[in-house]
Structure 1
Amino acid sequence: MTTAALTAEPRALTTEPRARLADLVAAEWIKLWSLRSTTGTLLLTALAVLGLNVGTAWDQVRYWGEHAPADRADFVADGMALLSAFTGNGATVLMIALGAFGAVAVTGEYGTGLIRTTFVAVPARGSVMAAKALVLAAVTSVFGVLLAAVSFWLTQAQFARYDAAVMLDHPGALRLLLASALLAPVSALAGMAVGALLRHGASAVTATTLLLLVAPVFLSTRRYWTALLGNATPYRAWTTLAERPDVLAHQPYPGTPGGAWLTLACWAAGSVVVTVLAVRRRDQ
């Protein structure tokens, strides 16, 4: 045997296999569910959102008998019960909680120093963050779908006693449920992107809230460019998909359903890209 052959063999034995994406996803899954705050956060968020939505429906049916027959008939004919299936207050709480959830999913590792160990074990930082984003998107998507479905069922059960509930085949019902469900992963991924940029828990949570909910308040709907920017935010996109068409028609520059779906998709995809690129040129 030659000297080259003898030196090549030990080198081959010490070469470690590259981490597969499936392994990284499994590791991030364990990390996420090993935190007690994960279950607690999701549970409290669900209770808060359901409480707001169901409470709105209950408040409407509580005085049902006091309304005139003509008003009750118009309420049923217009499908007004759908507005309580997922309210604006519920959407706001969902975005705040899931945005913070996504931010902490990143900043928690920076706070404990675990991120250094992770990057030493897996130098491909972009792959680590992609796996983290994939796990977060999967968990929050399932959470969003379940929350929207349960909210729809509980709220319409309130109106069913008076034959005022709407079904899933009612115009706009499925669109509202899907848009509400997508708020969870979109908010979580946006929070993750902010967390990857700032790497500090309190700052990331605050910045995420400002980005998702406070910024749209200052974007006027009465001027073209501010309305255009406002319609490109997740909350305004959800509002476009949740509102009745006749209400949107009275706005100077209303959003469109197609543009709203595109906005939610771009925020989710853009957040993942920012998360992956944010760790490429950092010291840790």
Structure 2
Amino acid sequence: MPTPTPTTPARLHPARFPDLIAAEWLKLSCRRLLLLSLFLAPPCTAALSWFLCSGVDLVGTRGRTDFDRLAASFDHGVWGLLMIGAAVIGALSFTGEDASGLIRTTFIAVPDRRRVLLAKAAVSAVVATAVGVPTAIASFGTSQAVLSGKGLGLALGDPGVARGFLAACVLLPTAALLGLAVGVLVRHRAGAVFAVFVTLGVVPEPIPEGGRFLAEAANLMPRNAWSALVGLGTADDELGPYPPSVTHSWLVLAGWPLALLTAAALVLRRRDL
């Protein structure tokens, strides 16, 4: 009678980080409608820039003096919507998994939850950057082509222009990371979307008109910090009497996603799912 030979159990190797990146990209690519809406941003933004800059002759001589030729390239309303859209997609990248229960399977396969969060952040940032940079190029190029024909054009080498262009390039990845962190902290799909909309769309609007204290509070909001970076400081900027400095604006823009992602990593490590 043959003696059975003992078998050694197969060793389970931890998932490599490139595997996590590939898995997160696969999950995101399944949201085709959301991705399509993002990749429509460059042509739509270019068309709106052409429309808005074509009407500069209607503002008169005084209006042309106050006209901010850089801010016109990155309309606050249009880019504010893009910012909210990128943040919503970032939030849904976690809350969608959490609602379906797939996140539990992910954490069973990868017990180190911080690695999963880092992979989600990397994919969200790369996709948002792949959209944000062409959108900034299309918006700036179209608007300056129109304004150059009216004697108001700017070049990237002019003071403050490169700063504003860079701020436009990083806005969408910043918003996507912020939204991802909010999604982890809130966990509820509708709640995360509401929190993103209030933080990026509602709160920044009325505060600058309420005196110095509220103006300083408004300067801590990411959207207002971005608006200061893409403006040349003319009366047309609508930043109020106490605009933030350039350094302050960069710190705010970088600090929001960094602080929220740090909080999300701590909460995710301790929370039961």
Question: Does the 8 Å contact 1:222/1:252 carry over to 2?
Answer: no
Whole-angstrom distance in 2 between the partners of 1:53 and 1:195: 32
Are 2:31 and 1:35 equivalent residues in the alignment? yes
Give the structure 2 partner of residue 272 of structure 1.
Answer: 261
Q: Displacement, 1:183? A: 1.5
Structure 1 residue 112: Cα displacement: 2.1
- Name the CA shift for 1:145/1:154 in 2 (closer, same or farther; >3 Å): same
Matches within 5 A, 1:235-254: 235-247=223-235, 251-254=240-243
RMSD of aligned alpha carbons: 2.8
TM-score computed with the length of structure 1 as normaliser? 0.83
Cα 1:213/1:78, change in 2 over 3 Å? closer
Partner of 2:17: 21
Q: CA 1:89–1:176 in 2, change beyond 3 Å: closer, same or farther? A: same
Give the count of matched residue pairs: 268
Q: How far apart are residue 221 of structure 1 and its match?
A: 5.1
Alpha-carbon shift at residue 82 of structure 1 (Å): 2.5
Which of 123, 126, 142 is the matching residue for 2:111?
A: 123
Task: Determine if contact 1:136/1:185 at 8 Å carries over to the other structure.
Answer: yes
Deviation of the 1:48 alpha carbon: 4.5
Answering whether residue 181 of structure 2 is matched by residue 193 of structure 1, we say: yes
One-letter code aligned to 2:217: L
Displacement of 1:213: 2.4
Residues 70-103 of structure 1: CA distance to partner in whole angstroms, max 9, x if unpaired? x39x94x888432321111122111221111111
What runs of 5+ residues in structure 1 fail to find an aligned partner?
A: 1-5
Q: Could you tell me how far 1:251 is from its partner in structure 2? A: 4.5
- For 1:250 and 1:143, how far apart are their aligned partners in 2? 27
In the TM superposition, 1:131-210 aligns within 5 A as 131-210=119-198
Are the counterparts in 2 of residues 190 and 268 from structure 1 also a CA contact under 8 Å? yes
Superposed displacement of residue 245, structure 1 = 3.0
Counterpart of 1:262 in structure 2 is 251
- Whole-angstrom distance in 2 between the partners of 1:226 and 1:37: 38
Stretch moving more, 20-29 or 243-252: 243-252
What fraction of aligned residue pairs are identical, expressed as a percent?
35
**Distance of 2:239 and 2:35 partners within structure 1:** 42
The equivalent of 1:3 in structure 2 is none
1:49 touches 1:93 (CA, 8 Å); kept in 2? Answer: no
Q: In 1, Cα distance between the equivalents of 2:164 and 2:197? A: 22
Cα deviation per residue 1:198-240 (whole Å; 9 max; x = unaligned)?
2222221111111122222353455443322211111110122
Contact persistence 2:181–2:257 (CA under 8 A): no
Structure 2 gap segments, 5+ residues each: none
